[in-house]
Structure 1
Amino acid sequence: MDKLDELALLIAILDEGTLIAAAHKTGRSPASVTHILNEMETRIGVRLIERTTRKLAPTEAGRRLADSGRRILSDYDESLHEAMGQAVSPTGLLRVSAPLMFGRRHLAPIATRYLDMYPQVSIELLLSNEMVDLIDHKIDVALRIGALNDSRLTVRQIGEVRRIIVASPDYLSKHGLPTNPDSLAQHTLVMMSIRGEVQPWNLTAQAHSRFVVNQAETMIDAAISGIGLARPLSYQVIDEIKSGKLVRVLSQFEPAPIPVSLVFTSRKHIPMRTRAFLDIAVGALKQVEGIQYS
């Protein structure tokens, strides 16, 4: 039996909920469906569907295979239409990953605009400051801030951001303006922790922190309230600097800029839904204030 037909049958079983209903949907006999499913499980070496007298339920392996199968079949249909020169719109599920704050502010609006343009596509937007593996987590597109070392990925660099130091006008009026990195020893810092590890500023060994948080927006709020100096990424505080809530200091001592990129797994055939999203996202992200463009 053709492997694509096997995937389609597995998906039909999960969607319909019974072997009889899947047989009816695919034009086969219930005995044939049972035989094909048994052969798949024997060849793969894992159970795909748990069968009881009352219901069917996918195993974890069966669920993962079905999820991958839906994407494979969608890509296959799309490729056939393209090969025949037929106009085709993006379809299927697009999984996008981004850092929490950047994704909420900038990628979520892009995703909703994309969904309005392409009604046959669904998006799963995964926001996390953890660096997820695109292949292991079946991510189509990821927004990355930082150096990239994975040669399996194709990169579209959007621009660059900087790690900057900011404080509220009230804090600076009370404690003075820092003039060099060594002067930070006389100030209070609001610092970030990642997975329980406080992230050093690498500017001075004498810095004192009275407040450590694990979320960038909380760090920024603390700086606005006047607790101390904070060190966000430039895009995170562009509005606060423009409004005067925060003041950028020690800009002459800022480290090298950090690349902002869209990445996706390298392969010859990129699904149309991925290509369409990249085209929209690249253009939209170039309008984001706080990013210096490449």
Structure 2
Amino acid sequence: MTRFTRLLPLSLLPALVLLTACGTEKAGPEPADTLSTGAAGSAETTETTETTGTTETTETTGTTGTTGTTGSAGSAEPTAPADPATPADPATPADPADQGDLDARARALGMAPELVHVTEAAGFTLAPQSVGVLGDDGFSAVYIARKTGAQLRLSVERGSIDADTCPRQPVGGMPGERTTCVREGGLWYRTGAGRHEYARPGDGYVVRVQGETDAVPRDVLRAAARAVHRPDAAEAAALLPAPRFAGTEPPVERGDLPSFGDGAPRNDVEAGG
């Protein structure tokens, strides 16, 4: 049997090759969507293959497991990103000193804490180096006027003052000087030896503010006497210096002091010395 072969015209060959190539190209799989549901979800991928005159559809069904953000089945709200760390608030500065520390400072200077007082007067400033002990455990401080150099002396000592004892207590502690006393409310105005002062009796002690008569006017002296008060924490911290030795460490023992006799150092020289 003789078979005849039909030849296509050469002009149709490029079109036939292009058609065959397009029909046999396989489509790539589409990306699968992942759902953050916290449970197993299904992802469906469809692959389609086309041939000339025929279309094949292959369905591939798989199961994709995902882990939810809540750790249990069911839907979970997406978690917002954590905020950056918030810097800590600056530390609140502590009080300049507590009462126990202030009392320790006063005692280290030899003063009774209850006798420590401060005052204020227009144009006068405390001279820190003047702060010191007065008598057994009293307190003394000097305020200076920078413009004139005048001085106000604040002193607090144990004792009392009244109409009988006032004339017998010389102003400034200078014996032999005549003292005059005038009552002004709760104050005693006293003069003598070119000085004047206001004395105010307290609970077992006397507060005095004095100055030179020709340097400090009486009204300034009176105002300073009325302004005398116990210091608060800030005032006391500025008034009383910190003790140089807190007494927490034992003193250093010298090795050249004998344990007998008057304790004089050993001056004997060993051989070769």
Q: TM-score, normalised by structure 1?
A: 0.18
Q: Which has the higher helix share?
A: 1
Q: TM-score, normalised by structure 2?
A: 0.19
Q: Which has the larger radius of gyration?
A: 2
